[in-house]
């Protein structure tokens, strides 16, 4: 097999992964939102033992767009799970993680998982590969440093999401039993 055929196959597979991933992401596919390589897990204890649901609308208002990060958008999958991701904008193409908030009433905690976004990681690997051949190996940190900084900013942000979700669950008005 020639190098050109191999490169063509790799490009085709990359494009297919990007297209499928974006279709699943845009449609909030349940499998895409709840499964993946978890690269971050944050837990926050609830302060109110009688909490029974999660208000994601109030949570969404707490994470608007900034100069550095996109706004977070949330979608409730079921009463105890809310998926979220960075809102696509002209400034940035994507983020390295998508998230899932799981409200666990039995353990009185909120668990936030960050799943790896494959397309952004593959794109970075391709850029690093091209930089190492086209420029020089010393140019690789030009990609690695911003990618690492972006990852750590998202880790901090997802921790804040967990804490705020736990606070919002605890402050919801409880239904009156008759």
Q: For 113-137, write each residue's pLDDT tens digit.
A: 988 887 777 777 777 777 666 666 6
Is residue 165 in a domain?
yes
In a 13 Å sphere around the CA of 96, the CA atoms on its Cβ side amount to 21
The pTM score is 0.74
Is residue 177 in a domain?
no
Q: Quick check: 48 pLDDT over 80?
A: no
Read off φ and ψ for residue 139, nearest 5 degrees: -80, -15
Is residue 176 in a domain?
no
Is residue 121 in a domain?
yes
Number of domains comprising the chain:
1
In our burial notation (b when 16+ CB lie closer than 10 A, e otherwise), range 43-52 reads: ebebeeeebe
């Amino acid at each position: 097999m020639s190098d050109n055929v191999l490169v063509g196959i790799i490009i085709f597979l990359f494009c297919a992964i990007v297209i499928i991933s974006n279709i699943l992401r845009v449609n909030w596919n349940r499998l895409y939102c709840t499964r993946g390589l978890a690269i971050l897990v944050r837990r926050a204890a609830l302060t109110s033992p009688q909490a029974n649901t999660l208000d994601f609308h109030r949570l969404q208002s707490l994470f608007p767009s900034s100069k550095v990060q996109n706004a977070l958008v949330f979608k409730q999958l079921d009463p105890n799970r809310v998926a979220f991701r960075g809102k696509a904008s002209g400034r940035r193409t994507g983020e390295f993680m998508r998230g899932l908030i799981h409200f666990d009433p039995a353990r009185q905690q909120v668990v936030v998982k960050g799943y790896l976004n494959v397309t952004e990681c593959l794109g970075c690997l391709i850029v690093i590969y091209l930089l190492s051949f086209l420029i020089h190996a010393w140019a690789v940190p030009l990609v690695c440093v911003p990618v690492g900084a972006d990852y750590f900013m998202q880790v901090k942000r997802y921790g804040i999401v967990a804490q705020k979700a736990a606070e919002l669950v605890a402050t919801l008005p409880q239904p009156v039993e008759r």
